């Protein structure tokens, strides 16, 4: 049959030899299995890597914009102090008592408390940005794992079978299939946090 033609029977007492057909059949079966498994991983990782990079750039733009709201508005403080200075000069010109000039309500030392909505918005966006950057990092590491896993070592079929088995056990030990499966879920969580923060940001407008 096809199996015997593809993998000729080994001489007697050489069924477990370095080049025995059991190792060649094992490698061929593993190659087909790995190709199907890695193809799905690679497509998922490539899409997430591109999307996470673009999404991180968008979130960073929003974070930089709203980060200013967490600090005192220096322009508003300067305008308030300038108005007080003009009022003092006007009082001096008119001979009015300086005690009648109202003091500026804003100074560089004035206490500042940002809006709770702004704080929540920035917090959600920072978490969203952290998640997307983490996804990008894990995606890059996964691509390196895939490249190393698919690299073909030199040697006899038995040696290559052993190396493939060790690599597969390494993937299982480090839970690579679970990690790849969690990446889309983390990306969805990052998007959800961003949109919640966007709603809060629109409320403050």
Q: Express each pLDDT in 68-111 by its tens digit.
A: 787 766 666 566 666 667 676 776 777 676 666 666 665 555 56
* Tokens 């690579």 -> residue: 176
Q: How many residues does the chain have?
A: 205
- The pLDDT of residue 65: 86
Give me the pLDDT at residue 9, please.
77
Above 70 in pLDDT, residue 202? yes
* Average pLDDT in the chain: 84
Distance separating alpha carbons of residues 78 and 83, to the nearest angstrom: 9
Considering only residues 29 and 89, tell me which one the structure prediction assigns the higher pLDDT: 29
Does the pLDDT value for residue 10 go beyond 80?
no
Confidence of residue 24 (pLDDT cuts 50, 70, 90): confident
């Amino acid at each position: 049959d096809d199996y015997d033609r593809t993998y000729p029977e080994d001489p007697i007492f050489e069924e477990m030899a370095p080049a025995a057909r059991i190792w060649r059949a094992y490698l061929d079966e593993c190659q087909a299995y790995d190709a199907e498994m890695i193809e799905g991983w690679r497509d998922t990782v490539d899409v997430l890597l591109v999307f996470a990079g673009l999404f991180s750039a968008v979130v960073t733009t929003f974070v930089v914009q709203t980060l200013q709201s967490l600090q005192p508005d220096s322009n508003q403080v300067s305008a308030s102090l300038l108005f007080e200075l003009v009022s003092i000069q006007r009082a001096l010109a008119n001979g009015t008592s300086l005690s009648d000039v109202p003091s500026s309500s804003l100074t560089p030392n004035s206490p500042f408390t940002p809006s709770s909505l702004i704080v929540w918005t920035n917090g959600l966006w920072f978490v969203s940005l952290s998640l997307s950057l983490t996804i990008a990092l894990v995606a890059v590491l996964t691509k390196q794992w895939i490249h190393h896993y698919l690299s073909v070592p030199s040697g006899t079929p038995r040696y290559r079978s052993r190396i493939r088995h060790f690599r597969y056990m390494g993937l299982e030990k480090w839970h690579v299939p679970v990690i790849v499966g969690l990446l889309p879920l983390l990306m969805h969580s990052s998007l959800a946090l961003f949109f919640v923060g966007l709603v809060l940001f629109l409320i403050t407008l």
